[in-house]
Chains A and B, each alone.
Chain A
Protein backbone atom coordinates (compact mmCIF):
# COMPACT_ATOMS: atom_id res chain seq x y z
CA UNK A 1 0.00 0.00 0.00
CA UNK A 2 2.82 2.43 0.78
CA UNK A 3 4.35 2.18 -2.71
CA UNK A 4 0.94 3.31 -3.88
CA UNK A 5 1.13 6.24 -1.45
CA UNK A 6 4.56 7.28 -2.73
CA UNK A 7 3.40 7.20 -6.29
CA UNK A 8 0.22 9.08 -5.41
CA UNK A 9 2.33 11.73 -3.72
CA UNK A 10 4.55 12.10 -6.79
CA UNK A 11 1.48 12.25 -9.04
CA UNK A 12 0.10 15.08 -6.94
CA UNK A 13 3.41 16.87 -6.65
CA UNK A 14 4.03 16.75 -10.39
CA UNK A 15 0.62 18.30 -11.11
CA UNK A 16 -0.02 20.75 -8.32
CA UNK A 17 1.99 23.96 -7.97
CA UNK A 18 0.78 24.50 -4.39
CA UNK A 19 2.07 21.07 -3.39
CA UNK A 20 5.32 21.90 -5.19
CA UNK A 21 5.57 25.11 -3.16
CA UNK A 22 4.98 23.33 0.15
CA UNK A 23 7.55 20.66 -0.71
CA UNK A 24 10.11 23.25 -1.82
CA UNK A 25 9.57 25.30 1.35
CA UNK A 26 10.94 22.41 3.39
CA UNK A 27 10.98 22.08 7.19
CA UNK A 28 7.53 22.27 8.80
CA UNK A 29 5.62 22.90 5.58
CA UNK A 30 7.13 19.84 3.94
CA UNK A 31 6.69 17.73 7.08
CA UNK A 32 3.00 18.64 7.27
CA UNK A 33 2.57 17.84 3.60
CA UNK A 34 4.19 14.42 3.91
CA UNK A 35 2.26 13.62 7.08
CA UNK A 36 -0.89 13.29 5.02
CA UNK A 37 0.48 10.21 3.23
CA UNK A 38 0.75 6.65 4.50
CA UNK A 39 4.51 6.21 4.05
CA UNK A 40 6.77 4.03 6.14
CA UNK A 41 9.93 5.66 7.54
CA UNK A 42 12.16 4.53 4.67
CA UNK A 43 9.76 5.92 2.10
CA UNK A 44 9.21 9.18 3.97
CA UNK A 45 12.96 9.74 4.19
CA UNK A 46 13.42 9.02 0.47
CA UNK A 47 10.69 11.46 -0.48
CA UNK A 48 11.94 14.08 1.98
CA UNK A 49 15.51 13.85 0.70
CA UNK A 50 14.53 13.61 -2.94
CA UNK A 51 16.52 10.37 -3.09
CA UNK A 52 15.84 9.38 -6.71
CA UNK A 53 17.92 6.21 -6.41
CA UNK A 54 16.00 4.91 -3.41
CA UNK A 55 12.63 5.82 -4.90
CA UNK A 56 13.59 3.97 -8.08
CA UNK A 57 14.62 0.86 -6.14
CA UNK A 58 11.41 1.00 -4.10
CA UNK A 59 9.50 0.67 -7.37
CA UNK A 60 8.20 4.15 -8.17
CA UNK A 61 6.99 4.36 -11.74
CA UNK A 62 9.66 5.93 -13.92
CA UNK A 63 7.28 8.35 -15.54
CA UNK A 64 6.54 9.83 -12.12
CA UNK A 65 10.20 9.90 -11.13
CA UNK A 66 11.22 11.42 -14.44
CA UNK A 67 9.00 14.42 -13.72
CA UNK A 68 10.07 14.65 -10.06
CA UNK A 69 13.76 14.94 -11.03
CA UNK A 70 13.49 18.26 -12.92
CA UNK A 71 11.40 19.66 -10.07
CA UNK A 72 14.47 18.97 -7.92
CA UNK A 73 16.72 20.61 -10.51
CA UNK A 74 18.30 17.32 -11.55
CA UNK A 75 19.34 17.20 -15.20
CA UNK A 76 18.85 14.10 -17.36
CA UNK A 77 22.34 12.59 -17.09
CA UNK A 78 22.33 13.02 -13.31
CA UNK A 79 18.83 11.51 -13.10
CA UNK A 80 20.00 8.38 -14.89
CA UNK A 81 23.12 8.17 -12.74
CA UNK A 82 21.09 8.64 -9.54
CA UNK A 83 19.07 5.55 -10.43
CA UNK A 84 22.21 3.55 -11.18
CA UNK A 85 23.66 4.67 -7.86
CA UNK A 86 20.44 3.64 -6.14
CA UNK A 87 20.80 0.12 -7.50
CA UNK A 88 24.45 0.02 -6.42
CA UNK A 89 23.58 1.11 -2.88
CA UNK A 90 20.23 -0.55 -2.27
CA UNK A 91 20.10 -3.49 -4.66
CA UNK A 92 17.72 -4.35 -7.50
CA UNK A 93 14.37 -2.68 -8.03
CA UNK A 94 11.92 -4.29 -5.61
CA UNK A 95 8.56 -3.71 -7.32
CA UNK A 96 6.80 -2.27 -10.33
CA UNK A 97 7.51 -2.50 -14.05
CA UNK A 98 10.54 -0.22 -14.29
CA UNK A 99 13.22 -2.75 -13.33
CA UNK A 100 16.74 -2.26 -14.65
CA UNK A 101 17.95 -4.66 -17.37
CA UNK A 102 21.40 -3.16 -18.05
CA UNK A 103 24.43 -2.98 -15.78
CA UNK A 104 25.14 -0.12 -13.40
CA UNK A 105 28.31 0.65 -15.37
CA UNK A 106 26.47 0.90 -18.70
CA UNK A 107 25.45 4.21 -20.20
CA UNK A 108 23.10 3.17 -22.96
CA UNK A 109 22.17 6.69 -23.98
CA UNK A 110 25.77 7.85 -23.76
CA UNK A 111 25.22 9.84 -20.56
Chain B
Protein backbone atom coordinates (compact mmCIF):
# COMPACT_ATOMS: atom_id res chain seq x y z
CA UNK B 1 0.00 0.00 0.00
CA UNK B 2 1.75 3.10 1.18
CA UNK B 3 2.13 5.52 3.98
CA UNK B 4 -1.34 6.23 5.40
CA UNK B 5 -0.52 8.45 8.38
CA UNK B 6 2.34 10.63 9.59
CA UNK B 7 2.88 12.61 12.73
CA UNK B 8 5.21 13.53 15.56
CA UNK B 9 4.86 13.65 19.32
CA UNK B 10 6.73 14.18 22.56
CA UNK B 11 7.76 11.09 24.49
CA UNK B 12 9.02 12.40 27.83
CA UNK B 13 8.51 9.88 30.65
CA UNK B 14 6.85 12.50 32.82
CA UNK B 15 3.89 12.62 30.43
CA UNK B 16 2.63 9.40 31.97
CA UNK B 17 4.88 8.90 35.01
CA UNK B 18 4.39 12.32 36.54
CA UNK B 19 0.88 12.99 35.25
CA UNK B 20 -0.37 13.21 38.84
CA UNK B 21 2.01 16.10 39.58
CA UNK B 22 0.78 18.36 36.75
CA UNK B 23 -2.06 20.86 36.87
CA UNK B 24 -5.00 18.55 36.03
CA UNK B 25 -6.54 20.93 33.51
CA UNK B 26 -3.23 21.41 31.68
CA UNK B 27 -2.50 17.70 31.73
CA UNK B 28 -6.00 16.77 30.62
CA UNK B 29 -5.86 19.18 27.67
CA UNK B 30 -2.56 17.68 26.49
CA UNK B 31 -3.61 14.08 27.04
CA UNK B 32 -6.86 14.74 25.18
CA UNK B 33 -4.95 15.98 22.15
CA UNK B 34 -2.55 13.04 22.39
CA UNK B 35 -5.55 10.67 22.42
CA UNK B 36 -7.05 12.58 19.47
CA UNK B 37 -3.76 12.00 17.65
CA UNK B 38 -4.06 8.28 18.38
CA UNK B 39 -7.66 8.17 17.21
CA UNK B 40 -6.71 9.88 13.95
CA UNK B 41 -3.94 7.36 13.41
CA UNK B 42 -6.16 4.36 14.16
CA UNK B 43 -8.82 5.73 11.81
CA UNK B 44 -6.38 5.18 8.94
CA UNK B 45 -6.43 1.46 9.83
CA UNK B 46 -2.69 0.86 9.70
CA UNK B 47 -1.42 -2.71 9.52
CA UNK B 48 1.73 -1.56 11.28
CA UNK B 49 3.14 1.57 12.88
CA UNK B 50 6.72 2.62 12.31
CA UNK B 51 7.82 4.51 15.42
CA UNK B 52 10.94 6.57 14.77
CA UNK B 53 12.18 7.25 18.27
CA UNK B 54 15.26 8.52 19.98
CA UNK B 55 16.03 5.80 22.47
CA UNK B 56 17.90 6.29 25.69
CA UNK B 57 20.44 3.48 26.10
CA UNK B 58 17.83 0.79 26.54
CA UNK B 59 19.41 -1.22 23.72
CA UNK B 60 22.34 0.61 22.19
CA UNK B 61 25.53 1.90 23.84
CA UNK B 62 28.73 3.51 22.72
CA UNK B 63 30.54 0.21 22.21
CA UNK B 64 28.53 -0.22 19.02
CA UNK B 65 26.21 2.70 18.36
CA UNK B 66 24.26 2.66 15.11
CA UNK B 67 23.20 5.98 13.64
CA UNK B 68 20.03 4.23 12.41
CA UNK B 69 18.50 0.96 13.52
CA UNK B 70 15.28 -0.85 12.67
CA UNK B 71 13.74 -3.63 14.73
CA UNK B 72 13.24 -6.97 13.01
CA UNK B 73 11.32 -9.17 15.43
CA UNK B 74 7.84 -10.63 15.81
CA UNK B 75 7.51 -9.17 19.28
CA UNK B 76 9.13 -6.69 21.61
CA UNK B 77 9.09 -6.03 25.34
CA UNK B 78 8.58 -2.82 27.22
CA UNK B 79 8.88 -0.67 29.10
CA UNK B 80 12.41 -1.25 30.30
CA UNK B 81 11.72 1.27 33.06
CA UNK B 82 9.98 0.53 36.33
CA UNK B 83 6.25 0.47 35.40
CA UNK B 84 5.36 2.49 38.50
CA UNK B 85 7.92 5.15 37.62
CA UNK B 86 6.73 5.39 34.02
CA UNK B 87 3.05 4.84 34.71
CA UNK B 88 2.84 2.13 32.04
CA UNK B 89 2.60 -1.59 32.74
CA UNK B 90 4.90 -4.08 31.05
CA UNK B 91 3.63 -5.46 27.76
CA UNK B 92 4.64 -7.74 24.96
CA UNK B 93 4.15 -5.66 21.84
CA UNK B 94 3.56 -7.36 18.48
CA UNK B 95 6.05 -6.82 15.69
CA UNK B 96 6.40 -8.24 12.19
CA UNK B 97 9.83 -9.58 11.38
CA UNK B 98 8.98 -10.32 7.76
CA UNK B 99 7.62 -6.83 7.15
CA UNK B 100 10.63 -5.33 8.90
CA UNK B 101 12.94 -7.28 6.65
CA UNK B 102 11.21 -6.02 3.51
CA UNK B 103 11.37 -2.44 4.77
CA UNK B 104 15.02 -2.78 5.76
CA UNK B 105 15.97 -4.25 2.39
CA UNK B 106 14.54 -1.20 0.65
CA UNK B 107 16.01 1.32 3.10
CA UNK B 108 19.40 -0.34 2.59
CA UNK B 109 19.29 0.63 -1.06
CA UNK B 110 20.26 4.14 0.02
CA UNK B 111 20.97 4.18 3.75
CA UNK B 112 23.19 1.83 5.75
CA UNK B 113 20.87 0.88 8.57
CA UNK B 114 21.46 -1.57 11.41
CA UNK B 115 18.82 -4.11 12.27
CA UNK B 116 18.00 -5.61 15.64
CA UNK B 117 16.18 -8.86 16.35
CA UNK B 118 16.00 -7.87 20.02
CA UNK B 119 14.63 -4.56 21.19
CA UNK B 120 13.42 -3.47 24.59
CA UNK B 121 11.16 -0.45 24.33
CA UNK B 122 11.82 2.48 26.63
CA UNK B 123 9.74 5.59 27.21
CA UNK B 124 10.66 6.89 23.77
CA UNK B 125 8.26 4.35 22.29
CA UNK B 126 6.10 3.28 25.24
CA UNK B 127 4.78 6.74 26.12
CA UNK B 128 3.56 7.40 22.56
CA UNK B 129 2.07 3.88 22.31
CA UNK B 130 0.12 4.53 25.52
CA UNK B 131 -1.89 7.04 23.48
CA UNK B 132 -1.54 5.64 19.95
CA UNK B 133 -2.30 1.97 20.57
CA UNK B 134 -3.55 1.84 24.17
CA UNK B 135 -4.26 -1.89 23.90
CA UNK B 136 -0.72 -2.47 22.60
CA UNK B 137 -2.25 -4.71 19.96
CA UNK B 138 -0.97 -3.12 16.74
CA UNK B 139 2.22 -4.28 15.05
CA UNK B 140 5.07 -1.91 15.74
CA UNK B 141 8.25 -1.48 13.71
CA UNK B 142 10.68 0.29 16.05
CA UNK B 143 13.25 2.62 14.54
CA UNK B 144 16.00 4.46 16.37
CA UNK B 145 18.00 7.46 15.31
CA UNK B 146 20.93 7.97 17.67
CA UNK B 147 20.27 11.29 19.41
CA UNK B 148 22.14 10.42 22.61
CA UNK B 149 25.80 9.67 21.99
CA UNK B 150 27.67 12.20 19.83
CA UNK B 151 28.83 12.23 17.15
CA UNK B 152 25.27 12.31 15.86
CA UNK B 153 24.08 11.72 12.34
CA UNK B 154 24.00 14.93 10.25
CA UNK B 155 20.57 16.43 9.73
CA UNK B 156 20.60 15.97 5.98
CA UNK B 157 21.19 12.27 6.56
CA UNK B 158 18.17 12.10 8.89
CA UNK B 159 16.20 13.66 6.05
CA UNK B 160 17.55 11.11 3.57
CA UNK B 161 16.66 8.35 6.03
CA UNK B 162 13.08 9.62 6.10
CA UNK B 163 12.98 9.60 2.31
CA UNK B 164 14.26 6.02 2.34
CA UNK B 165 11.54 5.03 4.83
CA UNK B 166 8.93 6.51 2.50
CA UNK B 167 10.25 4.55 -0.48
CA UNK B 168 10.17 1.42 1.65
CA UNK B 169 6.58 2.07 2.78
CA UNK B 170 5.50 2.62 -0.80
CA UNK B 171 6.88 -0.77 -1.84
CA UNK B 172 5.03 -2.94 0.67
CA UNK B 173 1.35 -3.94 0.43
CA UNK B 174 0.63 -3.12 4.07
CA UNK B 175 -0.88 0.15 5.28
CA UNK B 176 1.84 1.90 7.29
CA UNK B 177 1.59 4.70 9.84
CA UNK B 178 4.73 6.66 10.68
CA UNK B 179 5.26 8.48 13.96
CA UNK B 180 8.37 10.35 15.07
CA UNK B 181 8.89 10.84 18.79
CA UNK B 182 11.11 13.14 20.83
CA UNK B 183 12.01 16.78 21.42
CA UNK B 184 11.58 19.55 20.79
CA UNK B 185 13.71 21.84 23.00
CA UNK B 186 14.33 20.44 26.47
CA UNK B 187 16.99 19.77 29.05
CA UNK B 188 15.79 16.43 30.41
CA UNK B 189 17.26 14.50 33.30
CA UNK B 190 19.19 17.51 34.61
CA UNK B 191 18.47 20.18 37.24
CA UNK B 192 17.34 22.27 34.24
CA UNK B 193 14.47 19.86 33.72
CA UNK B 194 11.37 21.88 32.90
CA UNK B 195 13.23 24.53 30.95
CA UNK B 196 12.24 24.96 27.29
CA UNK B 197 12.92 27.53 24.58
CA UNK B 198 9.40 28.38 23.43
CA UNK B 199 10.50 30.72 20.62
CA UNK B 200 12.91 28.14 19.24
CA UNK B 201 10.19 25.49 19.42
CA UNK B 202 7.64 27.69 17.66
CA UNK B 203 10.02 28.52 14.84
CA UNK B 204 11.12 24.93 14.39
CA UNK B 205 7.52 23.71 14.25
CA UNK B 206 6.59 26.51 11.84
CA UNK B 207 9.28 25.20 9.50
CA UNK B 208 8.19 21.62 10.14
CA UNK B 209 4.54 22.36 9.34
CA UNK B 210 5.61 24.10 6.13
CA UNK B 211 7.81 21.09 5.32
CA UNK B 212 10.54 23.59 4.48
CA UNK B 213 13.50 21.29 3.92
CA UNK B 214 16.06 24.03 3.47
CA UNK B 215 15.00 25.85 6.64
CA UNK B 216 14.79 22.65 8.68
CA UNK B 217 18.29 21.62 7.65
CA UNK B 218 19.76 25.10 8.21
CA UNK B 219 23.26 24.62 9.54
CA UNK B 220 23.48 28.06 11.19
CA UNK B 221 20.24 27.34 13.05
CA UNK B 222 20.35 23.63 13.77
CA UNK B 223 23.95 22.43 13.77
CA UNK B 224 24.71 20.45 16.93
CA UNK B 225 26.41 23.34 18.73
CA UNK B 226 23.53 25.73 18.02
CA UNK B 227 20.91 23.16 18.93
CA UNK B 228 22.67 22.29 22.18
CA UNK B 229 22.99 25.95 23.10
CA UNK B 230 19.43 26.96 22.19
CA UNK B 231 17.44 23.77 22.72
CA UNK B 232 19.47 21.59 25.07
CA UNK B 233 20.65 18.04 24.59
CA UNK B 234 17.01 17.04 24.16
CA UNK B 235 16.92 19.23 21.06
CA UNK B 236 19.06 16.68 19.24
CA UNK B 237 15.87 14.65 18.86
CA UNK B 238 14.66 16.95 16.06
CA UNK B 239 16.14 14.23 13.85
CA UNK B 240 13.04 12.10 14.30
CA UNK B 241 10.79 15.02 13.29
CA UNK B 242 12.92 15.69 10.22
CA UNK B 243 12.68 12.10 9.04
CA UNK B 244 8.88 12.18 9.31
CA UNK B 245 8.66 15.42 7.30
CA UNK B 246 10.91 13.93 4.63
CA UNK B 247 8.76 10.81 4.45
CA UNK B 248 5.34 12.50 4.51
CA UNK B 249 6.19 15.37 2.10
CA UNK B 250 3.01 17.17 3.26
CA UNK B 251 1.99 20.00 5.54
CA UNK B 252 1.76 19.84 9.29
CA UNK B 253 -1.03 20.58 11.75
CA UNK B 254 -0.22 21.16 15.40
CA UNK B 255 -2.69 19.66 17.86
CA UNK B 256 -0.75 20.69 20.96
CA UNK B 257 2.46 22.61 21.62
CA UNK B 258 2.77 23.95 25.14
CA UNK B 259 5.39 23.56 27.83
CA UNK B 260 4.41 21.55 30.88
CA UNK B 261 7.45 21.96 33.16
CA UNK B 262 6.86 18.90 35.33
CA UNK B 263 6.85 16.86 32.10
CA UNK B 264 10.19 18.50 31.20
CA UNK B 265 9.32 19.37 27.62
CA UNK B 266 7.22 21.46 25.27
CA UNK B 267 4.48 18.88 24.97
CA UNK B 268 3.95 18.56 21.25
CA UNK B 269 1.58 16.54 19.10
CA UNK B 270 1.33 17.24 15.37
CA UNK B 271 0.11 15.46 12.28
CA UNK B 272 1.31 15.86 8.70
CA UNK B 273 -0.55 15.18 5.49
CA UNK B 274 0.93 12.45 3.32
CA UNK B 275 1.59 13.61 -0.22
Name A residues whose Cβ lies closer than 8 Å to a Cβ of B.
Answer: 4, 7-8, 11, 14-15, 56, 61-67, 70-71, 76, 80, 83-84, 87, 97-102, 104, 106-111
Contact = CB atoms under 8 A, between A and B. Distances in A.
A66 B21 contact: no
A111 B61 CA distance: 31
B191 A87 contact: yes
With most chain B CB atoms within 10 A of its CB, the pick from A15, A67, A107 is A67
Given A4-B62, A109-B261, A109-B264, A67 B192 contact: no
B261 A97 contact: no
Given A8-B63, A15-B80, A70-B81, A83 B190 contact: yes
Contacts of B193: 80, 108-109
B84 to A, nearest CB: 8
Interface of B: 13-14, 17-18, 21, 56-58, 61-63, 80-82, 85, 120, 148-150, 187-195, 228, 232-233, 261-262, 264
A96 to B, nearest CB: 9
Given A8-B61, A15-B120, A100 B192 contact: yes
B81 A100 contact: no
By DSSP majority rule, is chain B's interface helix, strand, loop, or mixed? loop
By DSSP majority rule, is chain A's interface helix, strand, loop, or mixed? helix
Contacts of A15: 58, 80, 120
Contacts of A76: 14, 17-18, 21
Nearest to A99: B190
Contact of A108 (B85, B148, B194): B194
With most chain A CB atoms within 10 A of its CB, the pick from B149, B192, B195 is B192
A84 B190 CA distance: 9
A14 B123 CA distance: 13
